[in-house]
Amino acid sequence: MAERVTIGDLARRLGLSKASVSYALNGQPGVSEQTRERVLALARELQWYPSSSARALSGARTGVVGLVLSRDPDLLGTEPYYMLVLSGIEAALIDAEYGLLLRMVGSEPGRDLPVYERWAGEGRVDGVMLFDQRRDDPRIPLLRRLGLPAVLNGAAEPGAALPAVVPDEHGDADQVVELLHGLGHRRIVHLTGPSGLLHEERRDGLVRAAASRAGMVVETLEGDYTMGTAERLTTERLRRGPAPTAWVASNDVMALGAVRAAAREGVDVPGDVSVVSWDDSLLCEIGSPPITALDRHPRDFGHRCARALLAEIAGTGDGDTGPRRSELRVRASTGPAAA
């Protein structure tokens, strides 16, 4: 075990007090430039690292932010979306020399609450990032009570209870509906994630609004992001009689499920039915047919989320650059509406 070098060691060697060393190391006023240089040089030479626990204990930052992922592990393994968001988060944190404490819990609502409670109680993190906001989300009052900085990612109203990072949901819905309308489709099935999730409700509202402006009709089917459910819902709907010609699915996995179910029912994609995914990924690229999808820049989004949280922790305004327009990647799963 390498012997730890402390600021006490640095102070002794330099004939300074620990306070001066601390000021020098932290870029605080209170030491001459010359002293600071000497301190920094010695710290580097002796490979001094600040003890994160000592720092945290004496009231400074922990240098860590927390993220609780509330999805089923199997789904996390198949949906590339979160891994990409995660890598964007990491990129932002690295720049700020922050660490990420990651926790995966199941998808049942509320399983994450004790984690925040504990993190706050133990003083583990400086803040947390929240995804998948729900109606009357219990995390918001909880985090307020705990006094833990937090950022709501994917929220609609910037003026909400917590600072938020918003995606371009409006533009997303418009792009998708526009494409389908242009292809002659007039009826859409919107295959959503669980309706308890606010972004699913918002998306559905925006799709309906855009559709109705274009004189189109929308049927909503509530899925759960899994392929199995998407296949079942699609099969049922196709069998129930005259079905819409366009399907919009909330993620890539469900879009694939819709395509597979259609194939199994003898419904041609895109001949009889067009399919669009709200998330792009390799899954969409390799589907047969490849699936038209929105590239919502998940890495970029993760990066913005982390930066917003860091700004919140630092108390320096939100610093959010605002949403970036998604790119609709048109592939073979969409085509002219059947007559």
Partner DNA sequence: CTGAAAGCGCTTACAG
Binding site for its own copies (CB under 8 A): 1-2, 4, 47-57, 62, 64, 73-74, 76-78, 80, 82-84, 86-88, 90-91, 94, 99-105, 117-118, 120-124, 145-147, 227, 253, 256, 260, 281-283, 286-288, 298-299
102 contact choice in its own copies, DNA, none (CB below 5 to 8 Å, kind-dependent): its own copies
Query: What is the closest distance, in whole angstroms, from the C-beta atom of residue 144 to its own copies in the complex?
Result: 10
For DNA, which is the closer residue by CB, 18 or 170?
Answer: 18
Separation between Cα atoms, residue 315 and residue 317, nearest integer Å: 6
Task: Count Cα neighbours of 185 within 13 Å in the Cβ-side half-sphere.
Answer: 30
For its own copies, which is the closer residue by CB, 17 or 87?
Answer: 87
Handedness of CA 269, 270, 275, 281 (dihedral sign): positive
For DNA, which is the closer residue by CB, 5 or 338?
Answer: 5
Instruction: Dump the DSSP string for 211-277.
Output: HHHTT-EEEEEE--S-HHHHHHHHHHHHHTSS--SEEEESSHHHHHHHHHHHHHTT--TTTT-EEEE
End-to-end C-alpha distance for the chain, whole angstroms: 75
Query: What is the closest distance, in whole angstroms, from the C-beta atom of residue 149 to DNA in the complex?
Result: 16
Query: What is the closest distance, in whole angstroms, from the C-beta atom of residue 311 to DNA in the complex?
Result: 19
Which residues, in sequence order, are bridge partners of residue 328?
A: 294
47 contact choice in DNA, its own copies, none (CB below 5 to 8 Å, kind-dependent): its own copies
Query: What is the closest distance, in whole angstroms, from the C-beta atom of residue 123 to its own copies in the complex?
Result: 5
* Nearest in space to 149 (alpha carbons), one of 316, 4, 331: 316
For DNA, which is the closer residue by CB, 48 or 301?
Answer: 48
Question: In the complex, which residues of this chain contact DNA (CB under 7 A)?
Answer: 4-8, 15-20, 22-23, 25-26, 28-33, 35, 48-51, 54-55, 57-60
Pairing status of strand 150-153 against strand 127-130: parallel
26 contact choice in its own copies, DNA, none (CB below 5 to 8 Å, kind-dependent): DNA
For its own copies, which is the closer residue by CB, 106 or 319?
Answer: 106
For its own copies, which is the closer residue by CB, 174 or 300?
Answer: 300
230 contact choice in its own copies, DNA, none (CB below 5 to 8 Å, kind-dependent): none
144 contact choice in DNA, its own copies, none (CB below 5 to 8 Å, kind-dependent): none
Separation between Cα atoms, residue 252 and residue 276, nearest integer Å: 9
Integer CA distances (angstroms), 118 to 7, 325, 328, in order: 31, 37, 41
Which residues, in sequence order, are bridge partners of residue 197?
A: 134
Give the residue carrying structure tokens 């129930």.
240
